Structure 1
């Protein structure tokens, strides 16, 4: 039986964190290609350090996406995030673009041809998860860690808190009683600030109202431990303070450690890459299972081989909370949604420029957008799945 009384912690990082700057740029490149050619192929990695950005990888798409345009996209992403400091400035930093054509050997396994359907772009395992801890069917610690930083970013960008810088990290430790999240036992927030004279106490006075807004009523008590900028001054931030790379915050991107992760990053990859699309599909299916009241918790694993269309396995774990047979559910999920790379893309309508917005504050637990963004958060399979209960 699963433990019922325990503490669990998750962290998030802001859009100005060095790794998230890189995720944002890589996904801006993906969107640019998909906007011009929905069937484009993109595998884009970004490195950022003091006043330098390097974009590298493989693409297949229109010649209109030039290196100069990609450099422009990188600068615009950094500008929107808010970096205009001496060591990392959107206008003055050096941007080097080293993208080249996709490997023909990979392409031959992925592309459809003759009687062969499109295959997976690589081998790998992907996980999806949902639970009843929050309205978004997400684990509470990661959801509220994201929410803290999102509120602070909104306040910074609106001009309400101009002293805050783009780089920040949050961490929330949640106490569970009888399996239900009930309180925050500790809150950690480190945020860049532009005034060197500010103390940790000064920063806490600025950020505390936003943190209290982000968490449920009653979760912060007199026993909650606060650690706000615990090392003191945090003026040098972003890639000037620490180099960033695409794909280094995969646990932040998903479930905060409350569920397994297959290991593949999302950002910088077009939706033929199952690292991204199959992880979205697994979340979509797990969320619909929980929303259909078939379980209180659901983990789904999908596995693929490069060049092979259909998944090698579909595994469902309802963690002892299920109200249906797991083996039957595994079979049904294959029927209600095509789980080939093409089937996933078509069902979730993924061949769109919808990825730059996913780069910060989590790929899951978000509201579906009218233009198709976050389509994997829809619960439109509930009526189909609900009859399986019993």
Structure 2
């Protein structure tokens, strides 16, 4: 005989044709509502994961995972610091840099941060070479006095490749005419577009030797490191402090951008909670369906009680009913949510093509496509939360079924 008995009877009630078709309709509505809620939650979480991943890639494409700098003066023996960093676990690349705050003049004026880099080493720690719109990073040679501008910065200055830019450094030199700031003309040899306004409108690149001469000091401002796992930034920083000594300052990307990424994670958590309430509303239909089913099956419950079924057994039979509806809804929602998440960028492009309306205009938003990244850990949480809600929804109707009195239920049968 099929065991356990509660599962057998619960599944039989599900397969059997009910006398009251309205209960079947409510059951179908419950499945559809749960499926739609699960689909919506998985899709929204995937879109938020996509935006999070896109922002991390763009920000960390310009910001190093770990930065080593001198406390009060430039790092003069930066070659040693680079060698030490390369031998540290999880470090994939290291490159020196010189950073200068300057004022740029052309047709218009704008402030910016000028970073002196070594073109052969810079691709090991950043993705700027992959975002060149015009020119190439290899043009930043010693004594070339070439400069690469962010796209927004070039627009603000009103220049293009081949134009001249005057760089004004806030370091004053005494002359017969009085103290004057240091000036230097640079040739615009390239333009990059990282896709983040913070860098496209405020960052310019020059060769490191030219940066040292412009800064008036020999040595690097610091060393920028790229790790194979950015989550290891804090342990790596501690190792470098122990290796290099207290004369160096070591900072991680968490120190400079932790609040931003924490805000994204908090927003994702809040959205998960809010959309979970939608699932809770959908599960209310499950309670209504089970309450009507208990009323419809009172005679059957009474007969089972007279045959020796315990209240706990009766309760389990109706819990099987509710959980089956919840599991079917979850399975349908996960399937639809997974398909929608994987194909969302293509679906959005199709809708834009049909309607002629662009949701994320490139001239307004830096991220012009709707990204989507499905994480199975999120799917697991959605399944767990929905299953728990479905389980809780079955408890009260199943308890009411277990409290049915056989004599009262069979009085008018």
TM-score (norm 1): 0.23
TM-score (norm 2): 0.22
Higher strand share: 1
Higher helix share: 2
